Amino acid sequence: MNRELRIERSLPKFAAAKVAGLLSPGRGSSYGPLSLVNADPLDLPADGWLTIKPRLAGICGSDLSTIDGNASRYFEPIVSFPFVPGHEVVADADIDGVSRRVVLEPVLGCATRGINPMCPSCAAGNLGNCERIAFGTIEPGLQSGFCCDTGGGWSQSMLAHVSQLHVLPTDLSDEDAALIEPAACAIHAALRGGFTGGETVVVLGAGTLGLLTVAALRAFTPVENIIVAGRYPHQVALARKFGANNTCPTPELARLVRSFTGSMAYGNQLTGGVDAVIDCVGDSASLTQSLAITKPRGQVVVVGMPAKVSLELTTLWHRETSLVGAYAYGTETMHDGVRRRTFEMAIELASTAHLGQLLTATYPLDEYKDAIEHAANAGKRGAVKIAFDMRQVSK
C-alpha cells in the first residue's frame, strides 16, 4: 500500500477549507479535501513511465492555495481528481537497473503525454507553455502533483516519465535539491525580464520564490541593483545574503525606490522608478505597488501566482508598462544568447548558492496538518520552505 496525502473533488470540503483558511492560513488542511490515505499503487500509464520513491517534497504556495480553497477556477480543466499534491520532489528512481537520486521536472508536457508531434512550445523547449496539458495518454494535469494518473510527491511513491527526471550530482544534498524546482521557476522569472546589463530591479516579496529570484538574478543576469521588499527580518537578511544590495520592509518600498532612483513623485506615484519589478506576491496590493514604482516603459514580471485581482491600469496605460507572466520553466535564452535548460541551471544554482539553507523544517506525512500550518505561516514563524520528509519512518 502507498501512504499518500490526497485531495478529493468535494465541493463541501473545499468550501469548509475556504472558511477555515480565512480564519487561519493552512487550517484548510484540517477541514478541507486533503486527507492521509493508504492507496493501491498506480498503474504505469505507458512506456517510459516508472515508479519513483520521494525523499523530500516541498510545500509550495500553489499547494497551499488549493488546500485552503483559494485556487483560481482557471485550473479546473487542467487538473484531475483525486490527486496527490507535491511537485517539488527529490526522489529515488531505478533507471536502467541502477538506483539513482533524481529531481522531478514536474510539468506534464507533450513528451510525458505521448503526443507526437509535439506542440510548438514543447518543440521549442518551452515546456511550461505546453499546449497539450489536458490531452494525451494521461488525464489532465498541468504538473505532476495535479494529475490523478501520476500521483505526487506527498507520498511514499509516485509515477514519473523518464523525460521528467534529472539525475542529481552525488555531492548535492537532498535539502539543496529540494529547492531545485522552485529555483527553476525563479530562474525563468529572472530571465523573463530580458535584462541586458546595468538594470535596477525590485523583487517584491521575500518568501521562497522571492529569495530564489534574487539568487537567480545575481547568478544568471547582468542586473546591477537588486532591491528586495519583504515583511520579515529573516527574509530581508537572506535576501542580502543572496545578493540584494538594498532591502526594506514592504511599506517602505516606494520611498526607497524614489530615493534610490532619484525619482520625483506625485501622490503615491513615482515619476520614474526601477527598470523592472519581479512581483513574487501576485495580489492586488503588490501589483498596484509594482506598477507605481516601475519607470515608464519598464516591466512588471508576475511570478507569484495571482487569483482574481482588482487593478487600476491607468498607470500601465499611461506609462506604457509591460506586464508579463512568468510560469514554470523550460529552456532559457541568456543575455549573451546562449540557450540552456532551466533545470540544469537550477541544479547548478542549488549547489553554488547552497539553497538548502532555505529549507527550514521537514515533517513526516503523518504530521501533515502541522506541516501545512507551518508552511502557511512560514514568514511569521521565521521560516522559508517547509517540506515533507519521506526518509523518516512514518508513524
Q: Smallest distance, Å, CB 289 to another protein?
A: 16
Does the protein bind another protein through residue 252 (CB under 8 A)?
A: yes
Name the segment binding another protein (CB under 8 A); options: 146-154, 156-164, 250-258, 348-356: 250-258
Question: What residues form DSSP beta bridges with 214?
Answer: none
Does the protein bind another protein through residue 258 (CB under 8 A)?
A: yes
Rounded Cα distance, 271 and 279, in Å: 20
Please count the other Cβ atoms lying within 10 Å of the Cβ belonging to residue 194: 14
Does the protein bind another protein through residue 237 (CB under 8 A)?
A: no
Residue 142 near residue 107 (C-beta atoms within 8 A): yes
- Binding to another protein by CB under 8 A, coded x per residue (else -) over 265-284, reads x-------------------
Rounded Cα distance, 173 and 350, in Å: 9
State which of residues 137, 263, 322, 360 lies at the interface with another protein (CB under 8 A): 263
Name the segment binding another protein (CB under 8 A); options: 27-35, 193-201, 249-257, 362-370: 249-257
State which of residues 22, 95, 123, 264 lies at the interface with another protein (CB under 8 A): 264
Does the protein bind another protein through residue 311 (CB under 8 A)?
A: no
State which of residues 24, 259, 352, 392 lies at the interface with another protein (CB under 8 A): 259
Does the protein bind another protein through residue 254 (CB under 8 A)?
A: no
Does the protein bind another protein through residue 72 (CB under 8 A)?
A: no
Q: How many residues bind another protein (CB under 8 A)?
A: 10
Determine how β-strand 49-58 pairs with β-strand 34-39.
unpaired
> Looking at beta carbons only, is 12 or 233 nearer to another protein?
233
> Looking at beta carbons only, is 191 or 227 nearer to another protein?
227
Q: Smallest distance, Å, CB 255 to another protein?
A: 5
> Looking at beta carbons only, is 177 or 236 nearer to another protein?
236
Rounded Cα distance, 359 and 375, in Å: 11
Instruction: Write down how long the chain is.
Output: 395
Q: Is 153 exposed, middle or buried (0-12, 13-18, 19+ CB in 10 A)?
A: buried
Closest CA to 303 of 131, 183, 165: 183
State which of residues 197, 262, 267, 337 lies at the interface with another protein (CB under 8 A): 262
Q: Smallest distance, Å, CB 344 to another protein?
A: 37
Name every residue whose Cβ is closer than 8 Å to that of residue 309 and which is 6 or more positions away in sequence.
Answer: 282, 283, 284, 287
Does the protein bind another protein through residue 197 (CB under 8 A)?
A: no
Q: Smallest distance, Å, CB 200 to another protein?
A: 15
Name the segment binding another protein (CB under 8 A); options: 59-67, 258-266, 340-348, 367-375: 258-266
Rounded Cα distance, 83 and 199, in Å: 42
Please count the other Cβ atoms lying within 10 Å of the Cβ belonging to residue 14: 20
Question: What residues form DSSP beta bridges with 165?
Answer: 104
Rounded Cα distance, 173 and 171, in Å: 6
Closest CA to 300 of 315, 244, 308: 315
Name every residue whose Cβ is closer than 8 Å to that of residue 305 and which is 6 or more positions away in sequence.
Answer: 61, 62, 65, 282
State which of residues 99, 169, 255, 318 lies at the interface with another protein (CB under 8 A): 255
> Looking at beta carbons only, is 163 or 259 nearer to another protein?
259
State which of residues 79, 248, 303, 346 lies at the interface with another protein (CB under 8 A): 248
Name every residue whose Cβ is closer than 8 Å to that of residue 358 and which is 6 or more positions away in sequence.
Answer: 179, 208, 211, 212, 238, 384, 385
What does the binding site for another protein look like in residue numbers (CB under 8 A)? 248, 252, 255-256, 258-259, 262-265
